[in-house]
Amino acid sequence: MATKIVTGAAGFIGSHLAQTLLKEGEHVIGIDHFNDYYDSKLKRNNIAILQQYPNFDLIEADIQTIDWKILLQHTDVLYHQAAQAGVRASWGDGFRLYTERNINATQIILEAAKETPSLKRMVFASTSSVYGNAETMPTPETICPQPVSPYGITKLAAETLCWLYYHNFGVPVTALRYFTVYGPRQRPDMAFHKFFKAAIFDQSIGIYGDGQQTRDFTFVSDAVAANLSAAEAPEAVGEVFNIGGGSRVVLTHVLDTMETLIGKPIQRDFQPMARGDARHTAADVSKAKNILAYSPKVSLIEGLAQEWEWIQNLYKIDPNKKP
């Protein structure tokens, strides 16, 4: 039985993807370094869920230390979800981690993949951050990428490496540009997680800018479905796809929706616009719809309700204890 590999398996999207594959009876090898970008206990919680399945194996290691040629020998699909995430942390001294974990790690995998003719597909997790402040909304894949953050630059560089190895060595790569994925297990540095957590502890939330920025929010199960389709569709090889939620929403509207779910006001602390944040994002998903049969299923209100339920369970702690 061929193996599926998921890098970043302890992370937000990676753990959901791995669990979906396991439920389908696939043998999955999950790879994660458990770095300290955020509390590793959250990652351990995600892995504990996956380890309930007998067809799951974990490799805890830095991608750059693994013998990929051996590992890929019995692998038909590699889902490369691992990355150093976060726009704001990518400035300054932290940039070195982004070049190592986003560019160098991807190149090492591609080098091994070009020597593995049995590999049927490599699905690379890219990001809408490659677009920066796109002039066209919704943004199609044909728009020239213009990242406005060091993070976006490293992800675009890794994506470009994928195309180099596809054109020169025939590595069967497909790339997915995620637009603001949310849902249960979301990283604690991401907005919805921070907003819900602040509400639980009656703290104010920091809003960068005037709150009128817009985002295309994508529920995690829709992102997972896109990965599964990208691994199967013959026409997907050598292509990049936008993966969005199907609607562009103003941030203040999202906060109003959250307040309705929570049942109380959220204290808002407006702060200067953060460097590297795009003002607006909106995905043109027509290409994904045509080739991957991609169709986002989960509405924003439904997705927020699921994340709110998860957040409440996550922070069931002593009410007198500070987070």
**Residues designated catalytic:** 151
* CA distances from residue 262 to 179, 185, 309 in whole angstroms, order as listed: 25, 18, 10
Strand partners, 139: 283
3-state secondary structure of 129: helix
Residue with tokens 């067809």: 55
Among residues 298, 259, 306, 232, the alpha carbon closest in space to that of 79 is found at 232
Measured CA to CA in angstroms, residue 81 lies from 10, 311, 319 at distances of 10, 23, 35
Helix (H) / strand (E) element for 122: namely: strand 121-127
Query: Using CA atoms in the order 139, 145, 147, 150, what is the torsion angle rounded to 10 degrees?
Result: 130
Instruction: Give me the sign of the Cα torsion angle 305, 310, 312, 315.
Output: negative
Q: What is the DSSP-derived secondary structure letter of residue 140?
A: P
For 220, the 3-state DSSP assignment is helix
* Per-residue exposure over 273-295, b if at least 16 CB sit within 10 Å of its own CB, e if not: eeebbbeebbbbbebbeebbebe
3-state secondary structure of 124: strand
| Maximum C-alpha span of the chain | 59
Q: Which residue has the tokens 């299923």?
A: 297
How are beta strands 3-7 and 27-32 bridged, if at all?
parallel
Q: Where are the alpha helices (DSSP H) in 72-143?
A: 95-98, 105-113
